[in-house]
Structure 1
Amino acid sequence: MARWPLAPVLAHRCGGALAPENTLAGLAAAAALGCGGVEFDVMLSGSGSPVLIHDETLERTTDGRGCVPETSDDRLRQLDAGRWFGEQFAGERIPMLDETARRCIALGLSANLEIKPSPGTDEVTGRVVANAAWSLWASADVPPLLSSFSVEALSAAAKAAPGLQRGLLVEQLPAGWLERCSSVGAVALHADARYLSHDAVLEVRGSGLRLAAYTVNDPVRARELFGWGVDCVITDRPDLVRAPDS
């Protein structure tokens, strides 16, 4: 069985609830807490570049309007992605993947990149993100792990960068989950913690896959999941949720 390649606790969307999501400020917050790793979302801009953002639209987390895949890099760099969260974060920008990689490596943060294709771009997003990640983390001690809900995106990522490990994202365990993981060469299943039972954890781990649980904000629940055999929890509260040996 392949070992879990990242830190056992990952800050959700860079810094969880402690900083504006998917920003460099979030990376700084996670590192300051001694959190060993982060999870963040990567989508393609209108210029075809991998950028950190969760929504296909800009309104919720920036002062811009419109769709990310229709917005150029130059325009994205002009947007404020921090003020919505708090005045102290005013001026925070949407990061490009290249600057995010440099910051993760400098801070010693392992990274889970969630590939977030906009509609109809699964294959190209998986390929571009995987190629970029392979190059950007080439010198890192711990390569990133690529995850996605999209089997097509993960399949493209596997072809583009077979040396990077992959995880399939699901909510509840679907029928045929093991076959779906096998089809993309996934080493891990990433599942919604709300639907995980002890038996489900044992079933996944017994299949030879690693298991990450999202989004776990209760330290008691995190300890229970680790006790059942979950390899990793993704949390909005890296200030509260700790690895079992911390």
Structure 2
Amino acid sequence: MTFLVQYLSEEDGKMKQKQKQLQNTVLPYLQAIPDIMRYQIVSKAVLGILLLGLSTAMRWTLHSTGRVAVSSGDFLFLFTTWQGILLIVMALVTLFLYVAFDLNTMILFSGKRLKQEEFTVWECMKESIEDIRRFFCPAGIVIVLYIALLAPILGFGISISLTNGLYIPTFITSVIETTPLYNALYIVAIVVFTLIGLANMFSLHGILLEDLPVRRSLMDSRSLMKKNWKNYTKNNCVYFLSCAAIMLLLGVVLLGIPLYFLGVSTEGMRRFWLLAVCMNASAAFAFAGIFAVPLYLMRITELYYQYKEEPDIAYAVQEHQRHPYLIAACILGIAGVIVISYLGNKAFDDIFPPKITCPIIAHRAGGSEGAENCVAGLEKAAALGAYGSEIDIQRTKDGYYVLNHDSTFLRTAGVDQRPEDMTLEEVRALRVDGEPVPTLEEMLAASKDKIVLFIELKGNTADQQMADDTVRIVREAGMEDQCVLISLQYDLIDYTEKTYPEIQTGYLTFLSFGNTAALNCDYLGLEEESATASAMDAIHRQGKKVLVWTPNEPASQKHFLLSKADGIITDHVSQAFGLISQLEKRTDFEKIVDGIFN
């Protein structure tokens, strides 16, 4: 009996020790949240003021060139004019500022907290701004560019808030994924750059916390990671699994349990409670997301010092402090949720319309419904109920306009020749999945009074003559109000809009800066990753329409069908209509979730 009591006592002691160890590990991070919140508010306010001045200077510089925006179809002037060079320099300064405020300040904050030094947020910001000069060297610029541009594309490592949504456009990745050589090179590049990022993970810490020169810090980081990569991997797995568990717990507590008991609420109040529960959960998830990077930087900083021959160093548990402003913020937040939920309940059907009205436009005539850029595909899209059909035209050697997307007919018809090197008679002999290559006139005849034609001026022959000829052919067909001329070349669209204002035009872009909405056109076609809600609102304020190209995945189609887009250009027309049918059958809960989280 004595042995059993002693054994249980020892086990109880071990359990309490583990609990205390866990508490001492987790509690310092939780205690840091109020300070991180202050840091976020102050740093973002200061950064906002600095960026306001910088962005104003950039817009003035851009306007001095006679442009309202720089976009993917009009960017070469950046490398050929003094204004363009100045814009590039100011863009680099912007990246440096974001690195200073998003990352450097938090690393200094973490280091001082770990060393239990007295400091203020202002002191950390001042020091981080002063340390920017350390990066004014080739190696430092490479570090900043990696963090700002490569890290978000790779989806690995730490990045800045300005570019954390950076991406490779879908129309480029689709080509990469369908070309074995490109795909292999792409995978190799991702692996190589990810390993480079991993090896240099602690480079900022050496520069900021130990005043090491950039090159020395890079070497030091690689040495630390080489010795400790297994421990680093283990700690990262534990950290991210813990974060996932916390998010799951939040979901259960804030969504799962309340929704379970919502069945007892009256029908009149059900929508109110659904809105309140979902908005409360959304706010909690957003709140958690705000602290994700700062807390991760705290953990990385702790590992850095532990790997630097200080294995026992850890954040100290702080004395209990009251944070009345945090409690007040939570109370105000809950009150706001209640008010918004009440108003949302009153106008539920206006906020979440029962019908989906976003028009569907078939890509390359009929998308996957038929042969690419052929009459049969267009007719199938029209039969399915598509609003429009997007086609690509190029000029033949003898001056006719035929349909083809690529620079040659190799992919579609198996002939490695360019349209401009062939006569119409030679093109007519080609077959695309058994279908003849049509002329522009044939596509106009097939679409008249059935479907709107979005005619893209494409290829090496896309010039003012093509614009003039296309307008003439459209007029001869009497279809001015059933056609839209579109292009990736802004100068061509600007010419068409100025010369033929009665003809509808659309400019396609996947990257832009400035007042893009003020560009001279009727439609702005945004590549799906750049088609944000704010971009759409800005375009609509200018009285223009928004097209989104080319959402093909169900999740992407769903997102834009529920957005303010005036049309989506897609390869999968049947799939889009199937999604519309499903979306119109959603429950109130599904509508709210889509509205908040979509």
Q: Give TM-score scaled by structure 2 length.
A: 0.35
Native 8 Å contact 2:480 2:503 kept in 1: no
Q: Spell out the pairing of 1:105-184 with structure 2 (5 A cutoff).
A: 105=448, 108-118=450-460, 121-136=462-477, 138=478, 140=479, 142-158=481-497, 161-179=500-518, 181-182=519-520
Compare the two structures and name the one with the higher strand fraction.
Answer: 1
> Cα offset for 1:73?
0.4
Q: Distance in 2 between matches of 1:133 and 1:209?
A: 22
Q: Secondary structure at the match of 1:239?
A: helix
Higher relative contact order (CA 8 A, sep 6+): 1
1:38 to 389, 402, 425: 389
Q: Secondary structure at the match of 2:417?
A: coil
State the AA in 1 paired with 2:441.
Answer: D
Q: Distance in 2 between matches of 1:51 and 1:129?
A: 11
Q: Spell out the pairing of 1:1-246 with structure 2 (5 A cutoff).
A: 8-82=359-433, 90=434, 92-105=435-448, 108-118=450-460, 121-136=462-477, 138=478, 140=479, 142-158=481-497, 161-179=500-518, 181-182=519-520, 186-242=521-577
How much identity, in percent, do the aligned residues show? 24
Native 8 Å contact 2:474 2:480 kept in 1: no
Q: C-alpha offsets along residues 116-175 of structure 1, whole Å, 9 cap, x if unaligned?
A: 1416x5222222222212222x1x494201111112322343355432110111013343
Native 8 Å contact 2:453 2:483 kept in 1: yes
Q: Secondary structure at the match of 2:562?
A: helix
Native 8 Å contact 1:129 1:157 kept in 2: no
Q: Distance in 1 between matches of 2:499 and 2:535?
A: 32
> Cα offset for 1:226?
3.9
Q: Secondary structure at the match of 2:573?
A: coil
| 1:239–1:226 CA distance, 2 compared to 1 (3 A) | closer
Native 8 Å contact 2:413 2:431 kept in 1: yes
Native 8 Å contact 1:148 1:169 kept in 2: yes
Native 8 Å contact 2:557 2:576 kept in 1: yes
Using the TM superposition, name which of 64-73 and 140-149 deviates more.
140-149
Q: C-alpha offsets along residues 178-235 of structure 1, whole Å, 9 cap, x if unaligned?
A: 34x22xxx11100101222222222222232210001112344334324331111011
Q: Distance in 2 between matches of 1:97 and 1:232?
A: 23
Native 8 Å contact 2:396 2:424 kept in 1: yes
Native 8 Å contact 2:361 2:390 kept in 1: yes
Q: Distance in 1 between matches of 2:396 and 2:530?
A: 33
Q: Secondary structure at the match of 2:413?
A: coil
Q: Secondary structure at the match of 1:48?
A: coil
State the AA in 2 paired with 1:93.
Answer: P
Q: Distance in 2 between matches of 1:98 and 1:38?
A: 15
| 1:210–1:36 CA distance, 2 compared to 1 (3 A) | closer
Native 8 Å contact 1:123 1:152 kept in 2: no
| 1:134–1:219 CA distance, 2 compared to 1 (3 A) | farther
Match of 1:3 in 2: none
Q: C-alpha offsets along residues 46-72 of structure 1, whole Å, 9 cap, x if unaligned?
A: 111111111121211113231111110
State the AA in 1 paired with 2:550.
Answer: T
Q: Distance in 2 between matches of 1:151 and 1:99?
A: 27
Q: Distance in 2 between matches of 1:159 and 1:70?
A: 31
State the AA in 2 paired with 1:73.
Answer: L
Compare the two structures and name the one with the higher helix fraction.
Answer: 2
Q: Looking at CA atoms only, which structure, 1 or 2, has the larger radius of gyration?
A: 2
Native 8 Å contact 1:124 1:153 kept in 2: no
State the AA in 1 paired with 2:452.
Answer: S
Q: Distance in 2 between matches of 1:36 and 1:188?
A: 15
Q: Secondary structure at the match of 1:60?
A: helix
State the AA in 1 paired with 2:466.
Answer: T
Aligned residues: 224
Gaps of 5+ in 2: 1-357, 585-598
Q: Distance in 1 between matches of 2:407 and 2:499?
A: 24
Q: Distance in 2 between matches of 1:133 and 1:175?
A: 33
Native 8 Å contact 2:403 2:439 kept in 1: yes
State the AA in 1 paired with 2:556.
Answer: R
C-alpha RMSD of matched pairs (Å): 2.3
Q: Distance in 1 between matches of 2:442 and 2:504?
A: 21
| 1:156–1:196 CA distance, 2 compared to 1 (3 A) | closer
Q: Give TM-score scaled by structure 1 length.
A: 0.82
Gaps of 5+ in 1: 1-6, 83-89
Q: Distance in 2 between matches of 1:36 and 1:148?
A: 19
